[in-house]
Amino acid sequence: MADGRNNYRMDPYHRMDISVTWKGIESKNLNRVGTSASFNVYNRYNPYIIYFDNKVDNGVVTIEAKQISLFPILPSITYNFKF
């Protein structure tokens, strides 16, 4: 962090998402599709919310930026069928 007004810089936000889709055997009456995905494969705690906390110590006020992160990695599986 840099000192001075408006000199705060957030940590870099980076994530990688991957997904795989497969199709089942199609017939006249039934079509099947499945998907497996994973979001934020790097398992990074990217900032969701950044807020500022004021601390007072012997009359001196210091402001500290804090972050809240959600879901470092989020896997999902879907299965769709049409009939």
CB 28 within 8 A of CB 81: no
Q: CB under 8 Å to 12, separation ≥6 — which residues? A: none
What's the mean pLDDT in 73-80? 94
Residue 26: the pLDDT is: 80
| Tens-place pLDDT, residues 3-60 | 677 777 777 888 999 999 999 888 888 889 999 999 999 998 888 888 889 999 898 9
Burial class for 15, CB neighbours closer than 10 Å (0-12, 13-18, 19+): middle
Residue 34: the pLDDT is: 94
